[in-house]
């Protein structure tokens, strides 16, 4: 015979299933296995707040949690662009989390033409050799022309051969060859004129100074190198003939400032104002090729 | 025939019971603070391993954690780097990475005014070189 046992208050402990391991400590209860009061053993962890170190690890032990969080507060940095220069640059990155890349820009304007020849800057070997002329009133400065300035070579005289003019190292070289002129069917010594392609304003200046470094025939007789100014640019011919001292009639207000009597010459321009084109010319009577190396042409 | 027997220790003193449903594992039956049979509601949480993103957040779920959970992190890192600057740009791939050292950009070699063409500005340095060197 089975005798059911009634519990006081109608409570049937057989239904109870909770054991201490099911109940948070130190809560007390009546559960499975005994009618005695039992105490929960699950450790109560509460609601912890952890901060995770960079690339760290946190263990959440077993137990009862009412919530909680694991957070992190790494210093962050966006991407950066660094312009390198003459000084070392240190970008603090230790301990930072980057959301973008760090770009070290190329060194601005680091090209061979900006670097002195013979030296290497930032791995770029320089090629620049020469003077820099930033004064428009210095038409020629040791082989350097000011910004925007240029020159054109042409024959000194009508029906005559002109030679060549070019920047040779730190001078403007005008080269005249004794050569056969097929059009005129004769041998002749070339005579070259050069015009600076941009006019200059002579107002407020007293002299146009021209310095030759070398005049290879070194003969300061008449019709040696000379200087002409005119209102217009006309690179066809300066004079009507090699022995004729008449200007090309299409030149406007031409003036012969003078001939060189030595390497350095100051030609007075006090009488002139306004814009003029500057012409240099070479002429020598003989049968020997020669050249003239100009160093300086400037207003002062 | 039914016999009514007194409950052993016939007086459960419910006054000392303190457990409530949220203190007891879900589904477990107990007598707690109110003296009646109740069923636990505190959920069971399975142990887990969480990989936290940079400056991420992990909310610990409420409940009974039966085992150890772990919160780890594995952000790629980069150490100290030294960049030698030149004409070309250099990209240091730092996006999404944690620095363990600084980024050092060395001074541009020989970047002095005397080596730069007069008037040219190279890497912020204005040149002064204006001369002809016979080669």
| A113: helix, strand or coil | helix
User: Any idea of the CA torsion for B74, B76, B81, B85, to the nearest 10 degrees?
Assistant: -160
Interface test with A, best of B23, B33, B38, B82 (most A CBs within 10 A): B23
Mean pLDDT of chain A: 92
Residues of A in Cβ contact (< 8 Å) with B29: 15-18, 31-32
Q: What are the residues whose beta carbons fall under 8 Å from the beta carbon of A120, sequence distance 6 or more? A: A126, B109, B110
Query: Which residues of chain B carry a pLDDT beneath 70?
Result: 1-12
**Using CB atoms, which residue from B8, B85, B97 is nearest to A107?**
B85
Question: pTM to 2 decimals?
Answer: 0.70
Whole-angstrom distance, CA of residue A161 vs CA of residue A190: 5
Q: Are A154 and A221 found together in one domain?
A: yes
The string of pLDDT tens digits covering residues A229-265 is 999 999 999 999 888 789 999 999 999 999 998 899 9
Q: Closest residue of B to A69, CA-based?
A: B59
pLDDT on residue A223: 67
B78: its two tokens: 């980069």
Q: Are A113 and A149 found together in one domain?
A: no
Q: What are the residues whose beta carbons fall under 8 Å from the beta carbon of B39, sequence distance 6 or more? A: B21, B24, B26, B27, B28, B29
Q: Closest residue of A to B49, CA-based?
A: A59
**Parallel, antiparallel or unpaired: strands A57-60 and A80-82:** unpaired
User: Any idea of the CA torsion for B82, B86, B90, B94, to the nearest 10 degrees?
Assistant: 30
Tell me what the mean pLDDT of segment A117-137 comes to.
95
pLDDT on residue A195: 98
In a domain, A160, yes or no: yes
pLDDT at residue A12 greater than cutoff 60: yes
Could you identify the residue written with the tokens 């190279």? Answer: B122
Tell me what the mean pLDDT of segment A91-111 comes to.
95
What is the domain range of residue A104? 99-129
pLDDT at residue A3 greater than cutoff 70: no
Bridge partners (DSSP) of residue A209 are A266, A298
Q: Report the 10 Å Cβ neighbour count for B86.
A: 18
pLDDT on residue B14: 84
Q: Are A171 and A240 found together in one domain?
A: yes
pLDDT on residue A255: 97
The string of pLDDT tens digits covering residues A180-225 is 998 889 999 999 999 999 999 999 999 999 999 999 887 777 568 9
Q: Are A109 and A244 found together in one domain?
A: no
- Chains A, B: CB contacts within 8 A come to 374
Which range is least confidently modeled, A91-100, A279-288, B39-48?
A: A279-288
Could you identify the residue written with the tokens 């003969």? Answer: A219
In a domain, A145, yes or no: yes
The string of pLDDT tens digits covering residues A37-92 is 999 999 999 999 999 999 999 999 999 999 999 999 999 999 999 999 999 999 99
pLDDT on residue A54: 95
Angle at A209 between CA A205 and CA A212, to 5 degrees: 170
Q: Are A192 and A258 found together in one domain?
A: yes
In a domain, A124, yes or no: yes
Q: Would the CB atoms of A110 and B114 count as touching at under 8 Å?
A: no
- Helix or strand (DSSP H, E) at A195: strand A192-196
pLDDT at residue A2 greater than cutoff 90: no
DSSP, residue by residue, A206-217: -EEEEEEEEETT
Q: Are A156 and A267 found together in one domain?
A: yes
**Number of domains into which chain A is organized:** 2
Q: Are A267 and A167 found together in one domain?
A: yes
Whole-angstrom distance, CA of residue A136 vs CA of residue A258: 22
Q: Are A147 and A293 found together in one domain?
A: yes
The string of pLDDT tens digits covering residues A141-184 is 999 999 999 999 999 999 999 999 999 999 999 999 999 998 88
pLDDT on residue A239: 95
Q: Cα distance from B88 to chain A (closest Cα, Å)?
A: 4
pLDDT on residue A149: 98
Residues of B in Cβ contact (< 8 Å) with A116: 114-117, 129, 133
| CB-CB contact of B122 with A83 (8 Å) | no
Q: Are A170 and A295 found together in one domain?
A: yes
The CATH number of residue A275's host domain is 2.60.120
Which has the closest alpha carbon to A285: A216, A238, A219?
A: A219
Q: Are A228 and A111 found together in one domain?
A: no
**Using CB atoms, which residue from A17, A91, A121 is nearest to B28?**
A17
Could you identify the residue written with the tokens 């201490």? Answer: A20
Whole-angstrom distance, CA of residue B63 vs CA of residue A67: 8
State the pLDDT confidence band at A286, using cuts at 50, 70 and 90.
confident
Report yes or no: B79 at the A interface, CB cutoff 8 Å: no
In a domain, A13, yes or no: no
In a domain, A42, yes or no: no
**Using CB atoms, which residue from A31, A99, A169 is nearest to B95?**
A99
């Amino acid at each position: 015979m089975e005798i059911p046992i009634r519990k006081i208050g109608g409570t049937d402990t057989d239904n109870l299933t909770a054991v201490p391991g099911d109940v948070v400590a130190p809560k007390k209860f009546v559960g499975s296995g005994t009618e005695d009061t039992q105490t929960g053993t699950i450790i109560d962890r509460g609601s912890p707040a952890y901060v995770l170190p960079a690339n760290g690890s946190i263990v959440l032990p077993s137990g009862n949690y009412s919530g909680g969080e694991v957070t992190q507060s790494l210093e962050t940095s966006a991407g950066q662009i660094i312009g390198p220069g003459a000084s070392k640059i240190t970008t603090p990155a230790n301990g930072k989390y980057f959301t973008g890349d760090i770009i070290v820009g190329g060194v601005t304007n680091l090209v061979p033409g900006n670097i002195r020849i013979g030296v290497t800057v930032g791995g770029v070997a320089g090629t620049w050799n020469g003077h820099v002329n930033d004064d428009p009133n210095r038409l020629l400065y040791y082989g350097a022309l000011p910004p925007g300035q240029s020159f054109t070579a042409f024959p000194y005289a009508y029906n005559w051969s002109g030679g060549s003019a070019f920047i040779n190292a730190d001078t403007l070289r005008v080269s005249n060859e004794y050569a056969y002129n097929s059009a005129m069917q004769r041998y002749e010594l070339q005579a070259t004129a050069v015009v600076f392609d941009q006019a200059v304003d002579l107002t407020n200046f007293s002299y146009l100074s021209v310095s030759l470094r070398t005049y290879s025939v070194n003969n300061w007789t008449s019709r040696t190198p000379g200087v002409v100014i005119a209102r217009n640019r006309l690179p066809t011919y300066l004079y009507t003939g090699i022995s004729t001292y008449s200007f090309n009639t299409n030149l406007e207000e031409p003036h012969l400032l003078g001939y060189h009597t030595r390497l350095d010459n100051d030609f007075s321009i006090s009488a002139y104002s306004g814009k003029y084109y500057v012409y240099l010319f070479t002429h020598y009577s003989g049968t020997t090729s020669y050249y003239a190396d100009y160093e300086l042409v400037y207003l002062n | 025939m039914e016999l009514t027997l007194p409950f052993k220790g016939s007086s459960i003193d419910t006054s000392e019971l303190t457990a409530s449903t949220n203190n007891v594992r879900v589904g477990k039956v107990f007598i707690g603070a109110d003296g009646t049979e109740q069923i636990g509601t505190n959920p069971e949480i399975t142990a887990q391993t969480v990989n936290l993103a940079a400056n991420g957040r992990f909310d610990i779920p409420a409940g009974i954690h039966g085992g150890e959970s772990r919160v780890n992190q594995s952000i790629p890192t980069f150490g100290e780097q030294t960049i030698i600057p030149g004409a070309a740009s250099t990209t240091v791939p730092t996006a999404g990475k944690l620095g363990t050292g600084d980024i050092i950009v060395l001074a541009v070699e020989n970047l002095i005014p005397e080596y730069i063409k007069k008037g040219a500005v190279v890497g912020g340095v204005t040149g002064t070189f204006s001369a002809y060197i016979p080669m």
